[in-house]
Amino acid sequence: MSKTTDKIALEPKTIWDELANYSLLIDCMNNFLEDKTSSDPELKAKMFDSIYQHYDKVCPEAEIYFAEKYIDSIQYFLDKVEACRKL
């Protein structure tokens, strides 16, 4: 067994995974957990990871979330490259 399958097999499904299986997690986030997810970035990341892994359809909010994370990472990289060029 590979390490990734071991990890997947050992992690139990969370309530977020179950809601994502039924394509209800984004609605739950928007209607009931908006304050919690805006103040807790780790929880928000877990929820969007569940959406990414378990949704059967495309979720525009998740696409935007991951695009913003990707842009932030690239901007951080570009800032570091610029700092190195100035040395």
CB-based contacts of 63: which residues, under 8 Å, 6+ apart? none
Higher pLDDT, 35 or 5: 35
> Rg of the Cα trace of the chain?
17
pLDDT at 72 over 80: yes
Query: Looking at residue 13, what is its pLDDT?
Result: 86
CB-based contacts of 21: which residues, under 8 Å, 6+ apart? 54
Q: What is the pTM of this model?
A: 0.76
